Amino acid sequence: MARASHPQAMTPHRPGSTRTAPPQVPDTFWSQPRMRTYLLFDATGIPYLVLGLIVLRVAVALGRGPEAWQELMRDFSNPLYLVFHAIALISVIFVGVRFFRLFPKAQPARLGPIKPPPRPVIHAGLYAAWIAVTLALLVVLGGLWP
């Protein structure tokens, strides 16, 4: 399973070093169960990238007029789009659950004069914001308000 990746990765600088065996690096981290969450996390990059491009199309369609918009909506009902968007939603939720747990500790204990709140508070705050933003968007985009 090990393969020579970069024998120079950690170059020795000392008198009289000896031949070393290359580092043990797995071919792909998928073979390592504990790496899978991380790989999936990175893999959500794909739906995000595609999503960005699709929303770009949304904006363009809006600019072009009703016809383009109707066509877009028809496309969105296409099972391919539906499946992709479902996957995208799952990805986004996965990212949120993982990242909102990791985010608080990336806050320095102090940023200049600002002292961020304790980590559990940030964590809970993120969740609250997430739910609030989602509900607000649903209300507005869903046509309930205004």
Per CB under 8 A, contacts with other proteins among 30-89 are 32, 34-35, 38-39, 41-56, 58-60, 62-63, 65-66, 69-70, 73, 76-77, 81-82, 85-86, 88-89
Is residue 5 near other proteins by the rule CB under 8 A?
Answer: yes
Minimum distance, C-beta of residue 120 to other proteins, in the bound complex (Å): 14
Minimum distance, C-beta of residue 134 to other proteins, in the bound complex (Å): 4
Is residue 26 near other proteins by the rule CB under 8 A?
Answer: yes
Q: With beta carbons less than 8 A apart as the criterion, state whether 130 and 101 touch.
A: no
C-alpha count within 13 angstroms, C-beta hemisphere, residue 53: 5
Is residue 120 near other proteins by the rule CB under 8 A?
Answer: no
Minimum distance, C-beta of residue 129 to other proteins, in the bound complex (Å): 6
Task: Choose between 27 and 117: whose C-beta lies nearer to other proteins.
Answer: 27
Task: Choose between 95 and 124: whose C-beta lies nearer to other proteins.
Answer: 95
Structure tokens at 61: 């369609």
Residue 73, judged by CB atoms within 10 A of its CB (0-12, 13-18, 19+), counts as: exposed
What does the DSSP 8-state code read for residue 12?
-
Q: How far apart are CA 61 and CA 76, in angstroms?
A: 13
81 C-beta neighbours (distance < 10 Å), count: 14
Minimum distance, C-beta of residue 145 to other proteins, in the bound complex (Å): 11
